[in-house]
């Protein structure tokens, strides 16, 4: 927007007068795939944890909970790497 008139600049408008959405940063395909796999793994491990807790398989439930925590740590690591 221009400061004097308050009218939007022509470069940010589509032909019908709507503003164009701001383009986000390009995310590498590897980061996208890592996010998908980590979230899927974390959800699956969390579901297995609950399943084994209901069945009173305490050791296997603990291992599944540990796998959930590992996937969560991987997510933090990938997100930190993606910020660079």
| pLDDT tens figures, 19-76 | 767 777 787 888 889 999 999 999 999 999 999 999 989 999 999 999 999 999 999 9
In the prediction, which pLDDT does 19 show? 74
User: pTM for the whole thing?
Assistant: 0.65
Take residue 3 and report the two structure tokens written for it: 């400061």
- For residues 82 and 25, which has the higher predicted lDDT (pLDDT)? 82
CB 31 within 8 A of CB 81: yes
Distance CA 63, CA 77 (A): 21
Domain boundaries, the chain: 28-82
């Amino acid at each position: 927007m221009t400061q004097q008139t308050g009218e939007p600049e022509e470069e940010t408008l589509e032909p019908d007068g709507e503003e164009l959405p701001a383009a986000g940063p390009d995310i590498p395909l590897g980061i996208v795939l890592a996010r998908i796999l980590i979230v899927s793994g974390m959800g699956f491990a969390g579901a297995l944890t609950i399943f084994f807790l209901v069945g009173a398989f305490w050791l296997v439930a603990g291992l599944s909970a540990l796998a959930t925590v590992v996937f969560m740590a991987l997510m933090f690591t990938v997100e930190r790497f993606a910020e660079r």
